[in-house]
Copies of this chain bind each other. A is one copy, B any other.
């Protein structure tokens, strides 16, 4: 049952060293503030899961918090590569990173199967693709009616999922609108779920009957963090900070520069900094 609490408390209560954790968001609504709090609390030995690990996962990997990553596309969207993640894979800096790599279809199906309480996802995929030769978690299953060979991957079942959403109501129900990605699945697949929101409203009376709403009993914690997705965006609130993504490419290109930036912009601040970061990005949304 959702409880309203500070982001600090929510991370402290829900994220443990060694957890399998998803900070989900598909370009839209990426929970940057929550990830930064996890960095401040210095969690270790995490297994990160996400279809599209981008800047926040680059940051967590660069800070040495991550043992393993399960993913399907690791890039800085519209900019290029993830330099901290590359440094970990190519040079073991700051430590070695184990990877379990899938396609988007596999990951989307794996989250879906996790939400559905199933041990594995079954789909038509990986035909001729090289990943099935380097990932033992890609297997075959045979249709008992047609004999067709289908792909199977284990479902994703995180210990905890973090997402950012537009609104909670006073009861703690969560509203997600726009590009909804795999957030509903990531929450329902997880044992615990923490949601940061732009704002809390009285009720969802005026919301569409079929909108993407997570009832309060499907989430553990709700934390109000205005701007908490920055430099990602929140449909209806603020636009994507493309300049910040471009800037990240420079910051991440140098180990020292990276550490200095993290000290100033993450370690020495708290989530209240986010509201100022979206000041110039409102209105256009």
Contact = CB atoms under 8 A, between A and B. Distances in A.
A146 B140 CA distance: 13
Contact of A145 (B120, B123, B124, B178): B120
A119 B151 CA distance: 12
Interface string A148-192: 101010100000000000000000000001101000000000000
A129 interface: no
A146 B124 contact: no
Interface stretch (A34-42, A87-95, A205-213): A205-213
Interface residues of A, number: 30
A138 to B, nearest CB: 10
B145 A210 contact: no
Contacts of A118: 122-124, 143, 150
Identify which of A141, A148, A152, A212 gathers the most chain B CB atoms within 10 Å of its CB: A141
A137 B141 contact: no
Contacts of A142: 141
A234 to B, nearest CB: 13
B212 A210 contact: yes
B117 A146 contact: no
Nearest to A138: B144
B152 A144 contact: yes
A145 to B, nearest CB: 5
A132 interface: no
Contacts of A211: 208, 210
Interface string A12-43: 00000000000000000000000000000000
B119 A148 contact: yes
A119 to B, nearest CB: 4
Most buried by B among A145, A146, A208: A145
Given A122-B118, A122-B122, A209 B146 contact: no
A139 interface: yes
Contacts of A117: 124
A209 B210 CA distance: 11
Contacts of A140: 144
Given A180-B210, A208-B211, A210-B210, A119 B145 contact: yes
Given A119-B150, A120-B146, A208-B210, 4 more contacts: A118-B124, A118-B143, A209-B235, A210-B210
